[in-house]
């Protein structure tokens, strides 16, 4: 998932940090040969808000708590990104009053954005026919089909301040053990050993009763 362009509107972090309602960044302006890219700004100017809310398509990024607490009455997150050589665009809106909270979210596939024609946005359609129709459930399913599970994304590709160090793993070996479920064969092996021990003891007792 490579972010291309983002627009974030109604985010409290941008209002507080930059005194504006909306911010648009075009990452495709970054030179292709750039190795590391930094977002610079004084404390509290909105850098984390851009990373957390602007540069990921997930509806509820895991480490920021209640997503509605990040916006005023209305908020909007739009992100164009590239994945597997194709271009996609996510549009998420949040609305809240004292009585209600509502999220809409659509994942689009962008066709023909190569400069020779106007891009055409078509809602993402899953292999089973489910289409991204604005509902949060279809959005989450479409995004997971495209990018894989959100938890794996945050573990593998997006670490930043405040997130648990590799989800609580102190070293890469223990992380790999967890990802590859290596505990399971170890557990089965211990269980098999215990069963074999009981059988051997019984066989021994049958040969030489106590």
Ligand X SMILES: Nc1ncnc2c1ncn2[C@@H]1O[C@H](COP(=O)(O)OP(=O)(O)OP(=O)(O)O)[C@@H](O)[C@H]1O
**Cα maximum dimension of the chain:** 90
When binding is defined by CB under 6 A, the residue of 12, 109, 163, 175 that contacts ligand X is 12
CB 103 within 8 A of CB 93: yes
CB of 16 to Mg ion, least distance (A): 12
Q: Cα-flanking dihedrals φ and ψ of residue 24, to 5°?
A: -120, 130
* Residue 159 neighbours by CB under 8 Å, 6+ apart: 166
| Contact partner, 89, from ligand X, Mg ion, none, Cβ < 5-8 Å per class | none
Nearest-angstrom CA–CA distance, 61 and 78: 14
Sort strands 120-123 and 71-83 into parallel, antiparallel or unpaired: unpaired
Counting contacts by CB under 6 A, is residue 17 touching ligand X? yes
Nearest-angstrom CA–CA distance, 205 and 207: 5
Sort strands 71-83 and 101-111 into parallel, antiparallel or unpaired: unpaired
Counting contacts by CB under 5 A, is residue 45 touching Mg ion? no
Counting contacts by CB under 5 A, is residue 48 touching Mg ion? yes
- The contact mask relative to ligand X for 67-106 (x = CB under 6 A, - = no) is --xx------------------------------------
**Contact positions with Mg ion (CB under 5 A) in 77-136:** none
- The contact mask relative to ligand X for 40-69 (x = CB under 6 A, - = no) is -x-xxxxxxx-------------------x
| Contact partner, 44, from ligand X, Mg ion, none, Cβ < 5-8 Å per class | ligand X
**Contact positions with Mg ion (CB under 5 A) in 142-171:** none
DSSP H/E element including 104: strand 101-111
Comparing CB distances to Mg ion, the nearer of 77 and 89 is 77
Site residues, ligand X (CB under 6 A): 12-13, 16-17, 41, 43-49, 69-70
């Amino acid at each position: 998932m490579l972010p291309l362009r983002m627009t974030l509107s109604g985010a409290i972090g941008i209002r507080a940090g930059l005194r504006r309602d909306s911010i648009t960044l075009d990452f495709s302006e970054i030179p292709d040969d750039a190795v590391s890219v930094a977002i610079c700004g004084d404390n509290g100017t909105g850098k984390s808000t851009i990373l957390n809310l602007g540069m990921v398509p997930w509806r509820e990024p895991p480490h920021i708590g209640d997503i509605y607490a990040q916006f005023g009455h209305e908020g909007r997150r739009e992100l164009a990104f590239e994945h597997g050589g194709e271009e996609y665009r996510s549009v998420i809106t949040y609305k809240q009053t004292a009585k209600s909270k509502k999220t809409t979210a659509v994942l689009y596939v962008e066709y023909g954005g190569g400069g020779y024609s106007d891009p055409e946005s078509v809602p993402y359609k899953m292999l089973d026919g489910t289409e991204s129709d604005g509902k949060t459930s279809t959005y989450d399913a479409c995004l997971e089909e495209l990018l894989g599970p959100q938890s794996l994304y945050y573990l593998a590709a997006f670490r930043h301040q405040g997130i648990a160090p590799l989800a609580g793993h102190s070293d890469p070996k223990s992380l790999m053990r967890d990802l590859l479920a290596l505990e399971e064969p170890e557990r089965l092996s211990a269980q098999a050993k215990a069963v074999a021990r009981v059988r051997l003891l019984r066989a021994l007792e049958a040969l030489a009763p106590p």
